[in-house]
Structure 1
Amino acid sequence: MSVEPGGRPVLTLPEVSTVTTLRQRNRALVLKHVILAQETTRAAIAKDSGLSTASAANLVADLLTAGLVEERGSVSSRGGRPITLIGPRAESAITIGADIGERGVAVEMFDLAMNRIDQEFRGGAKEEEPERIGADLQEALVALRDRNAGRWPTLLGIGLGLPGMVETDADGRQTLYAQSLGWPPVPVASLCDAGTIPVLAENGAKMQARAESWFGSARGADHAVIALLGRGVGLGIVTGGQLLYGAHSSAGEWGHMVIERGGRECRCGNRGCVEAYIGSDAMLAEWKAAGGVFEGTGWRAMGQLIGAAHEGDPAAARIVEEVVDCLGAALGGLVNLTNPERVVVGGWVGLRLMESLGERIAEAIRRHSLSRPGGQFTLRVATFGGASVTTGSALLPLEALIAADPMSEKALR
């Protein structure tokens, strides 16, 4: 394993002949095309990958032999022989993604076609320390392994979406820095030690952005910002078709961008951060201080706040209006800064807001951005909802397979 300049771990190919390396990279390109398309043809692979038809056919043959893709019948052509469809061989491998927060974990298992085949949850309503979170994760993994013992040997790896910045050192060791939670630096290995099974971790908002870029509302966009709104607030930035990492993988810490000097106190210790205005705890605390009564601190409570605003409750209406304006200002600044073609809003708070306030949010973003870039984006709600982080995390081991030679014994385990 090596580390990209942005701090992201990658599997690297050995130094071999140029011809062999090129063939490996082209196989990886074809495999990713097939997984993204779900069903495709050799001709479409050649066109999308910039390969000759003969080269595409040979590479598909390699992947068929390896059992990573399969033929799925055919469709008629114009006057010629039927065209065979190619798709990922779902049962050939599994991958696991975990959404890890301070209150517990959600762990999901996917096949090679990224169909969800099992899931497990641990934790509850109370905040937990890293040691307990690690125990929750281990219990969830054991439960999945026991229910899927026959498929467990095909596990590609475990991806973790974490609530903070994840840095990777030159030796591939990863560390979580969760300042907002008051945690000390946490070695990722202490949260998940899976023996010989690869474990890869990244910030949860980046994992949502990966899922939305592969299969969701940011798919096909070379430039996008994908916001995750929950108790915390995060962001993934896609530029030139690539997820932005920065020098040490902390790019996208938008939740702690100051939008009001000397403003509300934030969990990170600063004042006036985006999260201090549009994070769920901040919104609900403001409503409670104004006399609002609600159940819990999650999905239902946020729905009650928005519902009360729609029904004319003055305090709720004021708070929701402030939230829309703050979100518009924060995203409007990003529109000016990054000139995205798409702005995607996700996370459970984001989904609640977009249900009935999408048009108002779009108007607020444009009001707070320059007219030219403000007229060049479309606003979309995230496709994956609450499963976005687990889905994106499960793509980490899959990307490692694709980045390595898909035909190697090490990649196929």
Structure 2
Amino acid sequence: MREARELLDVPTQGRESTRKRLVIEVMVKSDRQSQLSRRTGLSQALVSTTVQDLAKDGIVEIDAPGGGRSRGKVRLSRMRGVAVGVDLGFNHISVAARPVDQPHDRIAVRRQSPGANIGFRRLLPDVLRLIGEAVEETGQGMADVVSAGLSVPRMVDPRTGKFTTPVLPPWEPEDQPAAELAAELGVPVVMDNDANLGALAEQTYTSEEAVEHVVYVKASTGVGIGIVVGSNLVRGRRGMAGEIGHLTVDPNGEMCLCGGRGCLDTLVGAESLLAKVKQSQRGGARDVPTTLSALVLKARDGDAVCTRVLNDAGRVLGFALAQLCNLINPHRIVIGGELAEARSMVLDTCRQELARFALSGAIAPAADFELRASTLSPYAEAQGALILGLRCRSSR
């Protein structure tokens, strides 16, 4: 059986660079040649020629059921190697592992608490254990890991791959989780913001056809968005694009961790929502939820206070997203993170505020606009990290 490592370790120059880039995109997702052209930025003619060469060498195969080879999906031939994605949230670790020759939905996953809020060095043994368990479930071993990506809930400078200053808790300026994980795995590890990687996974994996403008909202401990235009993540010069959680919604509101006042995070972040439920009890002995997931569960069971808190969160979020629609006019907005578990309790009021504050042309059905909950949760960010880890091998 061919080793994926042999293909990924070839120098990135000349003809081999194009072959390697195309092989990696097929590892990310089996697809038609036209879509591979769009995702790589290579011309359709070059993709066609390269695919034929790779097929002759037995590296890829083309499924062409009645549609001709040019319309058939290009998939990897049998190959040994596992791609890994890790999402290191504030309160959880999520891991996704997939053999590079398998369809994108054939993943092995693991998830546990706590998360980055207790410090990365304390978590590293658990991260490695979860990776090992997920890789073992694929039928391969840790020696077969060929790429890895890391999702974190903070700003990451795309020029350096490190945290952007100011480095906010739970991280410290000296923290380098990608480098530490790479040293343990023996493969390069690349890091990016969790909302960015959620957007990357949604844009890549949830549509057969390309959706050009996708916004992914990660709403859990805080709120952030990832923006994909075409096949490109919009990161900004220093990785600070999409920090909607620090958009000022109430100039006279509560202080935020960033030093601002009245940020969106202070209104719809997990701590704020939990505090509102607790405040409603007025000293009563009734149990109150201590996590956002528990709050959502109580609301599903009919708790009036929890339901109202989630409804109000949808309204505030909808107001903020209406401003975003007026600025960038996205095709699709996907709500992810723990708040997405509330489904209609958040989405319905969010839609009401979008209709109230966004330009009608931006969100009208005729504009083909869509607002929905993530279908990849709770592993969207980990799958995005898996994609990023593979793609970054094309430049090494």
TM-score for the superposition, normalised by structure 2 = 0.80
Q: Does 1:103 align with 2:88?
A: no
Measure how far apart 1:86 and its partner are.
3.5
Counterparts of 2:312 and 2:208 in 1: how far apart (Å)? 27
Deviates more, 1:63-72 or 1:206-215: 63-72
2:6 aligned residue: none
* Residue in 2 that maps onto 1:88: 76
Alpha carbons of structure 1 residues 250 and 65: separation in structure 2 relative to 1, 3 Å: farther
Q: Which residue of 1 aligns with 2:229?
A: 239
Structure 1 residues 321 and 128: alpha-carbon distance in aligned structure 2, compared to 1, 3 A threshold:
same
Change (3 A) 1:217 1:179: farther
Q: Distance in 1 between matches of 2:209 and 2:358?
A: 24
Closer, same or farther: CA 150–164 of 1 in aligned 2, 3 Å: same
For residues 178-232 of structure 1, the C-alpha deviation after alignment (integer angstroms, 9 at most, x for no partner) is: 8553432212324552363111111111110110010126962222221111122
Q: Which residue in the other structure is 1:395 paired with? A: 387
Compared CA separation, residues 60 and 104, structure 1 to 2 (3 A):
same
**Aligned: 1:270 with 2:263:** no
CA offsets 1:228-269 (integer angstroms, 9 cap, x no match)? 111221110123442101111121111111111121233434
> Structure 2: how far apart are the matches of 1:317 and 1:69?
51
- Equivalence map 1:339-350=2 (5 Å): 339-350=329-340
Aligned amino acid, residue 167 of structure 1:
D
Distance 1:88 1:129 in 2: 38
User: 1:297 aligns to what?
Assistant: 291
Give 1:282 deviation, angstroms.
1.2
For 1:350-389, what aligned pairs fall within 5 Å after superposition? 350-352=340-342, 354-375=343-364, 376=367, 377-389=369-381
* 1:281-360 equivalent positions in 2, closer than 5 A: 281-291=271-281, 293-305=287-299, 307-308=301-302, 313=304, 315-316=305-306, 318-352=308-342, 354-360=343-349
Match of 1:134 in 2: 124
- Does the 8 Å CA contact 2:19/2:54 hold for their aligned counterparts? no
Native 8 Å contact 2:267 2:313 kept in 1: yes
Overall identity of the aligned pairs, in %:
23
1:385 is paired with a residue of what secondary structure? coil
1:60 aligned residue (43, 51, 57): 51
CA contact (8 A) 1:35 1:88 kept: no
Partner SS, residue 107 of structure 1 = strand
Give the aligned residue type for 1:325.
Answer: R
2:354 match: secondary structure: helix
Deviations along 1:7-66, one digit per CA (max 9) or x if unpaired, are: xxxx9975x5xxx35x74376347636854x354x68878996434xx555422433366
| One-letter amino acid of the counterpart of residue 21, structure 2 | A
Q: 1:249 to 1:197 in 2, by over 3 A?
A: same
Which residues of structure 2 form unaligned runs of 5+? 1-8
Q: How many residues get paired?
A: 375
**3-state SS, counterpart of residue 167 of structure 1:** coil
* 2:339 counterpart SS class: helix
Distance 1:303 1:122 in 2: 18
Change (3 A) 1:300 1:396: same
**Shift, 1:301, TM fit:** 2.2
Higher mean C-alpha displacement, 212-221 vs 152-161: 212-221
Note the residue ranges of structure 1 that are not aligned, 5 or more in a row: 1-10, 405-410
Report the equivalent of 1:32: 25
Amino acid at match of 2:321: L
- Aligned-residue CA RMSD in angstroms? 3.6
